[in-house]
Amino acid sequence: MIDFEIPEKIAGIRNVVETVAVNMMRPVSRYFDEHEHEIPWDYINFMHTATRAMGGSSMAASEGKKEGPRFGFQRLAVMVEMLSWGDAGIYLDTPGGMLGSAAVSATGTPEQKERFLARFRGEKPTFDAMCMTEPHCGSDTASIRTTAVLDKEKNEWVLNGEKIFVTAGHKALLDSEGFIVVWATIDPSAGRAGMRPFVVEAGTPGCQVTNMEYKMGIRASDTVTVVLQDCRIPFENILGSPEVITEKSSTSFKGAMATFDATRPIVAAQAIGLARATLELLKEMLAERGVTIRYGLPRQKLTSIEKDVIDMEIMLRSAWWLVLKAVWMMDNGKPNALESSMAKVRAGDVVNRITQKAVEIMGPLGYSREYLLEKWFRDAKISDIYEGTGQINRLVVARQLLGYRSSELR
């Protein structure tokens, strides 16, 4: 039965998260935008304490195998939307497992999940990160050059390579006892079939953070370079079951893709939260200046501002439903690769169009750093870049619509 009512339980959590967004994020938004590389510990500590108090290790979606309908990803999407409404950069500093954990959840064995994810329930806020991108390749993930060689005598993997643009890498490796998931190849000639995810824990010798980026937006979030130099990790830190590890197959690559099915709608939810914040502020600022939006009129009778705002509303709402449908499918065990990439494509577009239009409409007020519109414009752009650029996600969508393999549609 088609239903657009937010489940009661999620509505409750949403209210709580809204309070956090209003009280702990918005007031420091500008500060952390202007003090890049400072860490919003107040927010982080609060979130950590709050999640522990609620009995959860993280915001992550796994709920175990309880009876009845599952809400995990829907709840996560709603929370992320709200946190990002608060501040898209600070949201990325939320402790307790993000992309790295998603990879562990999607591809790890039960033993690995326990070993790696338990730390998030600990006393101190803990972070993780995911390292795919390298200096020479981002979208073309199958071309990664970081290598993993098995030292059979010591039963250890030896990693060598350089990973860039690692979100929260600093916090995962240097500010907490976290871990990073490193994608490396066990056979550089094998392409995708050689790719495997490895967990490297904080403090592992040979794993170093060498650089922190300065960015256009989401400046509260650290983006770092990680260099792996003869970095040795236990054999058991390769994610997945032994068959997958030894056989030359693309199961692992598919694992990465499965991770994306779960994470893309969440990144899309982040875009939606930011877009909603922008539209709300825009309408508020317009209202203060005597401009209200007359819904219900034919286009011919609307002012150009009204048309823009109404179009924004349409984009925002429809994109949000795409996101929710994608996570709802996830919760209900329906394959959602198409829907999750659709949601990402649309949300990435929408947040950019809305923030760009909002700055334009408000003129000098939009461009001024006195208001957050210009910051949100800068924050927005990342949504169309990471977790698959707009182009890559269009490819993913198109391949499925057209029934093409990646070799048939490049």
Ligand X SMILES: Cc1cc2nc3c(=O)[nH]c(=O)nc-3n(C[C@H](O)[C@H](O)[C@H](O)COP(=O)(O)OP(=O)(O)OC[C@H]3O[C@@H](n4cnc5c(N)ncnc54)[C@H](O)[C@@H]3O)c2cc1C
For other proteins, the binding residue among 144, 239, 279, 319 (CB under 8 A) is 319
For ligand X, the binding residue among 19, 23, 49, 139 (CB under 6 A) is 139
Region of 203 on the Ramachandran plot (φ > 0 left; ψ -120 to 50 alpha; else beta): left
Evaluate whether 257 touches 129 at the Cβ level (below 8 Å). Answer: no
Q: Return the one option of ligand X, other proteins, none that residue 133 interacts with (CB less than 5 to 8 A, by type).
A: ligand X
Q: Return the one option of ligand X, other proteins, none that residue 270 interacts with (CB less than 5 to 8 A, by type).
A: none
Options 111, 213, 387, 408, the catalytic residue: 387
**Residue 74 or 223 with smaller CB distance to other proteins:** 74
| Ordered DSSP codes for 24-40 | IIHHHHHHHHHSTT---
Q: Return the one option of other proteins, ligand X, none that residue 357 interacts with (CB less than 5 to 8 A, by type).
A: none
Containing 151, the helix (H) or strand (E) segment is: strand 147-151
CA 339 to chain centre: 16
Q: Return the one option of ligand X, other proteins, none that residue 398 interacts with (CB less than 5 to 8 A, by type).
A: other proteins
* Exposure string over 354-383, b if 16+ CB within 10 A, otherwise e: bbebbbebbeeebeeeebbbbbbbbbbbbb
**Residue 70 or 344 with smaller CB distance to ligand X:** 344
Residue written as token pair 């500093």: 93
For other proteins, the binding residue among 173, 266, 275, 397 (CB under 8 A) is 397
Contact segment (CB under 8 A) with other proteins among 52-60, 246-254, 259-267, 314-322 equals 314-322
**Binding flag, residue 405, ligand X (CB under 6 A):** no
User: How many Cα atoms occupy the beta-carbon half-sphere of 3 within 13 Å?
Assistant: 6
Instruction: Supply the minimum distance, in Å, between the C-beta of residue 367 and other proteins.
Output: 28
- Other CB atoms within 10 A of residue 163 CB: 26
Instruction: Supply the minimum distance, in Å, between the C-beta of residue 248 and other proteins.
Output: 28
For other proteins, the binding residue among 4, 53, 110, 123 (CB under 8 A) is 4
Token couple for 286: 């317009």
Rounded Cα gap, residues 396 and 382, in angstroms: 19
Residues 6+ apart with CB under 8 A from 272: 81, 84, 316, 319, 320, 323, 347, 350, 351
For other proteins, the binding residue among 288, 300, 333, 364 (CB under 8 A) is 300
**Binding flag, residue 55, other proteins (CB under 8 A):** no
Rounded Cα gap, residues 206 and 187, in angstroms: 21
Annotated catalytic, 114? Answer: no
Binding residue count for ligand X, defined by CB under 6 A: 23
Evaluate whether 285 touches 365 at the Cβ level (below 8 Å). Answer: yes
Evaluate whether 101 touches 117 at the Cβ level (below 8 Å). Answer: yes
**Residue 114 or 140 with smaller CB distance to ligand X:** 140
Which residues contribute to the site for other proteins (CB under 8 A)? 1-7, 69, 74, 295-301, 310-311, 313-315, 317-319, 321-322, 324-325, 328-329, 339, 342, 345-346, 391, 393-395, 397-399, 401-404, 408-410
Which residues contribute to the site for ligand X (CB under 6 A)? 99, 129-133, 137-140, 165-167, 215, 223, 382, 385-386, 389, 391-392, 395, 410
Q: Which residues are catalytic?
A: 387
